[in-house]
Amino acid sequence: MAEVPTRQRLLILLSQLQEKTDEENQWSLRDIVQQLQFIYGSGYRVKDDALRKDLQALDETVLPIVTNNGPHGKKLYSHQDRLFELSELRMLLDAVVSARFMTEKEARKLIRKIKNLASRGQAKELPHEYYLEGTVKSESAYLKYDIDSLHRAVSENKKISFQYGTYNVDKVFELHRGGDFYSVKPYSLIWNNNYYYLIGEYEKYGEIRHYRVDRTRNVMVQDETFKRKQINIGEYVNKSFNMYAGDEEEWIHLEIDNRLINVMIDRFGIDVDIRKAGEETFYLKAKASISDGLVNWLMTWGGQAKVLAPAHLIQSMKEASKKLYLTYHS
C-alpha cells in the first residue's frame, strides 16, 4: 500500500485518541496499530518508535496523553484531560432536558453535541435522547436566535422591540395590544423554573418588568443605546413571586407548619427571620411584593401556611379561599 504521510497519521491518531480513549479505555502500541490498520487497511505498517514520537508530539502540543503501566510492563496510552468531567456533562444534559424554552429538535441536537465532548465509551453512560419523550418543549424554532439577540442587546446596552402574547383556551397564540411592539431597555436574561425571562425597563412607563422570552415574537435589536437604572437583579427576582409583577414590597407575617421549613428557606433565603411558634409551627417575617402570584403561591400550601399580616393580604387570602370553596360547592 502507499505510504501514509506522517502529518496525516498524526491527525488520525489525535482524533482516535480523543474519541475512543479515556480512564477506562487505554491503548497499547499494538492497539494503536490495529486502529490504524482498520482505517488504512490490514497491510499498513508503522514502527513503534514512530508511534512513540507521534504520541510525544501530541502530548507536547495539542493533546495531553496519559501513559500508564499495564500488564507485563506494557505501556498504555490514553487521553483523559477533557474540558468537562462526566458529572458536569450529566448536569448539562439534565439542563437541556428540563429547559422548556427550546424545541425538541434543538434539544436533541444539543444533546448529541454535548455527548461528543466525551469519549465514545463515556457517552454510553450519559442520558439518551429518549429522556426527552413526554417533556414540555417550545414550538418556536427561532427562539434560540431571539435569545442570542437579547444577550447581545444586554451586553451592548441597546434598546430592543418585540411583540408579546399568550395562548388562549383554543391553544392559539394571540399577540397582546393588537400586535403592537413593546419598546424595552434590556437589563438581564435569567433562567427561572426552566424558562428564560427578560428583565428590562418598559419605556412607555419607565417601569422594570419581566417577560417570558418564549412568548416574544419578532425580536429586534435597535441601534440606539441606553443608560441603565441602578437595580439589583437578584433582589428583583427574589421579590417577584412566581414571576408575577406586584406592588411595592411590604412586610408579611406568616405562621407555617414545620414541615415547610425548607420550602420557605428556598423561597426567602437562609437569612429569613424565623422564630418558633409552637411544637408544630414557626413564625416567618419577610418582605415581599403583594400580588396575585403571592396569593396563589400561599394557597398551594393550604392550611399549612397562615397569613397573620398585613390585613389586606389576609383579605385576599379569604377571597381566594372563598372562590375555591364555591368552585366545588356551587
Instruction: Report the alpha-carbon distance of residue 177 to residue 119 in Å, rounded.
Output: 51
Q: What are 271's three cell numbers? A: 437569612
> In sequence order, what are the residues at sequence separation of 6 or more whose Cβ sits closer than 8 angstroms to the Cβ of residue 215?
164, 165, 166
Write down the pTM of the prediction. 0.65
Question: Could you state, in chain order, the average pLDDT of each consecutive group of 10 residues for the chain (330 residues)?
Answer: 81 94 94 93 92 94 93 92 90 85 84 91 80 65 86 95 88 91 95 87 92 92 93 79 63 94 84 91 90 90 95 95 89
Question: Pairing between strand 173-175 and 158-167?
Answer: antiparallel
**Whose CA is closest to 273, among 263, 283, 281, 258?**
283
* pLDDT score, position 1: 59
Q: E strands, 139-232, where?
A: 158-167, 173-175, 182-192, 195-202, 207-212, 216-225
Could you give phi then psi for residue 103, rounded to 5 degrees? Answer: -75, 160
**Whose CA is closest to 139, among 164, 98, 173?**
173
* pLDDT score, position 216: 93
Instruction: Report the alpha-carbon distance of residue 312 to residue 314 in Å, rounded.
Output: 5
Contact indicator for 245, 275 with CB cutoff of 8 Å: no
Neighbours of 92 (CB within 10 A): 17
Could you give phi then psi for residue 325, rounded to 5 degrees? Answer: -60, -45
Instruction: Report the alpha-carbon distance of residue 1 to residue 46 in Å, rounded.
Output: 12
